[in-house]
Structure formats: C-alpha cells, structure tokens
Amino acid sequence: MSAVLSAAVPSAAAAAPAPTAGSPVAIGMPQVPRARRTREDVEAAAVVSGDKKVMLAAPRGYCAGVDRAVIAVEKALEHHGAPVYVRKEIVHNRHVVDTLEQQGVVFVEELDEVPEGALTVFSAHGVSPAVVNEAAERNLQTIDATCPLVTKVHREAVRFAKQNRSILLIGHEGHEEVEGTYGEAPDHTTIVNNPEEARTVEVEDPDNLIWLSQTTLSVDETLEIVSILRERFPNLQDPPSDDICYATSNRQAAIKKISPSCDLVIVVGSANSSNSVRLKEVAVEYGAQRAERVDFANQVDESWFEGVATVGLSSGASVPEVLVQEVLTLLAEYGYGTVEEVVTAEEDIIFSLPKELRAEMKKVGDNDRSLGGRRTNSAN
C-alpha cells in the first residue's frame, strides 16, 4: 500500500467505531479533529473579492467498477467471515482500505503471504495470468473483482497478441493495472509512459502495430502520446473502443468545466489513485489558480483559502461521497456555504457482481446488493 498518511493525521477509519467482523462494511463519516485558524484570521490575511462559493463537479467519486469491487469484498466477509485476503489494495483509497481492514480484510502484496486454500479477492485493477496461475497452484479460493472495463483491455491484448501484432501500451509502469495488462502478452507489448517515451520507443514491425491504454489516464495526454506515435508510425491502429473508461473521462470533463472559474480546486483522493492525481493536474491545466489533493478534510490547509472566492471540489473514482461531504462541511465553516453543483454527465452504470459471488449468493437466497458507499449526485 503506497498511500501513506502523516503520522500526525489519524485515519478516518481508525477514529470510527470498530465494526463487527463479517457484517457489511459501513463506510462512516470520519471524525478527525484538528486545530485550525479561525475564518476571521484567514479572511484578515487576504482580501476576498466577490462572493464565496463552491463549484462542485459532477460526476465525481465512486465509479461502477469501484462500487462492484468494494461490494464484492463486503459480500465475501458477509458470507465467509474474516479473514478475507485481498491482493493489493482493493481500490486505491486510504479510507476504504482502512475501513475494510477493521472488518477483517487482510491486504497482501503478493499471494505467497496468503495461507494455502484461503479466500482471496483480486483487486479492481486486475491481475496477470501469472497471478491467476499462482493462486490455482496454492489452491486459493478466489473472487475476481477486476473491473469489467479493465478486463476488456486484457481481452484486447490477448486478441492482438494472437494476431501477432505489436502492442504499445500507454500507461504508468509499476501501476497494478498496467502490470496485469502487460502480463497478458509480455512478448508483444511495450509500455509507453509519457510523450518523451513516445518519441523514442522502437518497435519491430511498425506496420502491424496497435495501441492500448490504462483506463485512468489523462485524456489529453493520451491523445498527445497517440499523435506523437502516429507521426512516427503512420500505420498505427486504434483500439476498437476507448480504453480510458467512462468514469475517468467524465470526471476529467467535469473538472475542466469548473476549473477556469476556480481560485482553488480541491480533489479528494489518495496519492496512489491514478485518476485522482490526474484530476488535480487537469484542474491546473484548465485554469485553476491552484489545485490540491487530500485524502481527508483534515488535510485541507486553511491558508489555501486566503484571497479565494471560488473553490472547486471533485473526487476520484475510488472515493466514497462521505469524504467529499466532510470537505463541504469544512468549507462552509470558512464561509463557502453556497454550493453550485455543475453536472456535465449523468451516470447510471452498475456492473453485476463477480460470478463466483453471484453463484454463492444465489445458493443462499441473498438478493441484497447494498451500495458500498456509492455517491449520490446531491450536494446536501
């Protein structure tokens, strides 16, 4: 787990009452006290011209793939009891991971940390065939919570490798999703991390070349990388459909809309959440005077509000809405009580749960698919 909080900042989950092992996870409102300067002190430090308000981006927060993965772990706990092992963070959010740990989930980096035969969930980011094979060798009972939109990219990689094509995989080397996709066809795949690498990458057969991408990249940067690649390799083929997922595109479109009007944009999301980090970058590229990313409201520094009239707010695809609401509460305390929600798309996608779970739930007549912290569109 690479998202690390300052030792001075207690985690939201740590401050919540310990939930009962085996019961569905309730992702509750964090209680995180922190000494702060007063609103009057902050306002005295710099004059604010204009009315104070919040522009709240929508869509934001939980996507369908994250929702499905968190519910999969909740259901695994409910049906099997603790411990449930999860390879890597189920989704890249500190609060979700801490809350599930309190419920009896054990997060491991690799499968050799899991006892033989134990129940193990694969995270939303997906795994390579080598990991699936290792799980089988260790007789692990597995639930695959890979997002179906990541699975789609895996299938494309397998198909194009079978056609003996070379694949340029645009994505961040070392990210779990990229490791999983690369692992489907390592002999055919070259990872392109950024525009600089697009300018220098070499391929064996430039006339039999296709590009794929990680699902959570910056839309604009990916287009730039593809255009550089196409200049060098004019016969480069596009994937059959966009690999950057609907949730990533929609959240970036919403933050692009609000950023030109914002003095400050706050993105709620963890440091290892690719789409949260991209949102912060996009906010600045599209005109926000300043952008900051926080896991929790208590990481918001009130000095950021000096001279600020309009605060933009959004959250990454792995962030429960409760964390955004806590930032809104804090903002209201500093005079940003007027909230304008700017909606650039409606989302109603829900993925069915992993097949292993559906079979088990059917056996015991469990039809409940409670939403594991999925956000609502309301600003209230």
Query: Minimal distance in Å, beta carbon 148 to ligand SF4?
Result: 7
* 56 near ligand SF4, rule: CB under 6 A: no
Q: Which is nearer to ligand SF4, 97 or 300 (CB)?
A: 97
Residues acting as catalytic residues: 177
Among 64, 90, 264, 267, binds ligand SF4 (CB under 6 A): 64
22 Rama sector, left if φ>0, alpha if ψ -120 to 50, beta otherwise: left
Among positions 33-52, residues that touch ligand SF4 (CB under 6 A) are none
Q: Residue type at 306?
A: E
Consult the annotation and say whether 262 binds a ligand: no
Among 63, 170, 178, 291, binds ligand SF4 (CB under 6 A): 63
* 328 near ligand SF4, rule: CB under 6 A: no
Consult the annotation and say whether 245 binds a ligand: yes
Among positions 188-227, residues that touch ligand SF4 (CB under 6 A) are 215-216
**Please, how many CA atoms are within 13 Å of residue 294, restricted to the half-sphere of its CB?**
24
Consult the annotation and say whether 172 binds a ligand: no
Local structure of 57: helix, strand or coil: strand
* 147 near ligand SF4, rule: CB under 6 A: yes
Query: Minimal distance in Å, beta carbon 104 to ligand SF4?
Result: 23
Segment near ligand SF4 (CB under 6 A); pick from 46-54, 94-102, 146-154, 261-269: 146-154
Tokens matching residue 261: 């009007």
Alpha-carbon distances, residue 280 vs 53, 208, 218, 275 (angstroms): 19, 36, 11, 9
Consult the annotation and say whether 63 binds a ligand: yes
Alpha-carbon distances, residue 96 vs 55, 309, 326 (angstroms): 25, 32, 15
Local structure of 44: helix, strand or coil: helix
Consult the annotation and say whether 273 binds a ligand: yes
Q: Write phi, then psi, for 274 (nearest 5 degrees).
A: -55, -45
Segment near ligand SF4 (CB under 6 A); pick from 15-23, 82-90, 240-248, 280-288: 240-248
Size of residue set near ligand SF4 by CB under 6 A: 15
Name the strand (E) or helix (H) holding 294.
Answer: strand 291-294
Among 25, 58, 127, 247, binds ligand SF4 (CB under 6 A): 247
Query: Minimal distance in Å, beta carbon 156 to ligand SF4?
Result: 14
Tokens matching residue 74: 């909740």
Consult the annotation and say whether 125 binds a ligand: yes
> Measured between alpha carbons, how far is 161 from 164 in angstroms, rounded to an integer?
5
* 245 near ligand SF4, rule: CB under 6 A: yes
Looking at beta carbons, which residue is closest to ligand SF4? Answer: 65
> Measured between alpha carbons, how far is 49 from 310 in angstroms, rounded to an integer?
10
- The contact mask relative to ligand SF4 for 66-105 (x = CB under 6 A, - = no) is x---------------------------------------
Taking the CB of residue 366, how many other CB atoms lie within 10 A of it?
14
Among the listed residues 136, 5, 119, the one whose alpha carbon sits nearest the alpha carbon of residue 73: 119
Q: Residue type at 351?
A: F
> Measured between alpha carbons, how far is 185 from 181 in angstroms, rounded to an integer?
8
| Binding site listing for [4Fe-4S] cluster | 63, 147, 245
Interface positions with ligand SF4 (CB under 6 A):
63-66, 124, 147, 149-150, 215-216, 245, 247-248, 275, 317
